[in-house]
Structure 1
Amino acid sequence: MKFAVIVFPGSNCDRDMYYAAKDALGAEAELVWYQTANLENYDAILIPGGFSYGDYLRTGAIASTSHIVNEIKQQAERGTPVLGVCNGFQILLEAGLLPGAMLRNKNLKFMCHFEELIVENSNTMFTSAYESKQMISLPIAHGEGNYYCDDATLDQLKENNQIVFTYASNPNGSINDIAGIINEAGNVLGMMPHPERAVESLLGSADGLELFKSVLNNWRETYVAGA
């Protein structure tokens, strides 16, 4: 399996994502500059955190208009797994690949610490290695991680089981304690906590590695077992 780790000007978690996929998981991975022409040769796409374009205008807004995001949209339509973490989640929202928007944290401060999360949906290609309602520990690092959507969208997320992760103790004011959501097709996940920073116990938690294992296991079941 081969992962593409997208790199925008201002990305700063790209090396962490690369390490998680290549060294911790043992899969193939490449850092892909945002001006790259296409993503057809990759089995999964990872959009890392950071401050793409310095977070000017709005977090993720400028990056969402780049050519490579059009490529990501095309691959997502074909069913390719797409994971956006932190700024990557913000980019997915701005690009319309996921519903809702990000507001500033309720305390109007940047937050950087570990949080306990609840796995609300373990029946996805990103969470199949977890148990339903499992409590996991992942770090957050954001100033605008307060997820918001209108009532109709929230009802739809609940009805379709698109809320994948929630905070056990809401740190930022996100509606319904939401920490991560998935699209209706089930192949695009956006989350504010950083699984790539929790792939070894030395880092404080290895709970994030199960997310990457889930993607790899799903790929093996889909493409290797059926070959």
Structure 2
Amino acid sequence: MIKFFRKIRQRLLTENKFSKYLIYAIGEIILVVIGILLAFQLNAIVKNRENSFEEKRILRNLSEHDLKDDIIFLDQLIDSANTTTQIMTALTGDKLDFINKMEAFINDFNFQANDGTFNEAVSTGTMRLIKSDKLRSLIFKYYKEVENNRFLSEQSAFVNNHEITGPETYEKVIGTAESFARYNITLPLPNLNLENLIKDQKFMGSLFSRMASLQNQISSWRRLKQNAEMLSKEITAELKSH
């Protein structure tokens, strides 16, 4: 094709048809410019399709995997924590049952969000492909709240549990003869006396402190769950509008 156009130019020059050559040259330039513009346009179309595909992939992964798993995990945490806060009813029951429930009571409850898709999109810069400013803002807001929950509610609960409730429980409940007897171990330790334990102001104070801390965590998890459900609905609506 290049040789063909070159032959035409040479023939026009040899025939001293300069005006026709000039018109031809301008036409050739226009054709080249049109070709370049078409190439750019085609490239832009391909790029837009790729960006749209990546946007949908991010949104689907968030809605159908990460947020869905978060909601399930939060439900499990809320149920587990709610169950352990019923510890007061065990104080008037069987000693071994109370020991087992106290061990569960001082377990740390932590929410770990499924943030792989979000972190990947932020680190690679593909979060900008989400066209809706409102939706993008809601996504950032959700994961910011996850971080706040981790460093405020759960960190506070961890300190409270390990510095207040935990030591009291290990000394007055776990470190008793009945506790070791569960594993067929006999030690010269004091027996667990639930009546005296109820009258122990320091122990009961640590118990209520832990209960208040757990209730605070439960409230925080419920807010996170509501936000995860709302965000998931917003993402689903955005995907349907595409």
Return the TM-score normalized by structure 1: 0.22
Whose helix fraction is larger, Structure 1's or Structure 2's? 2
Which one scores higher on RCO, CA 8 angstroms, separation ≥ 6? Answer: 2
Return the TM-score normalized by structure 2: 0.21
Whose strand fraction is larger, Structure 1's or Structure 2's? 1
Larger radius of gyration: 2
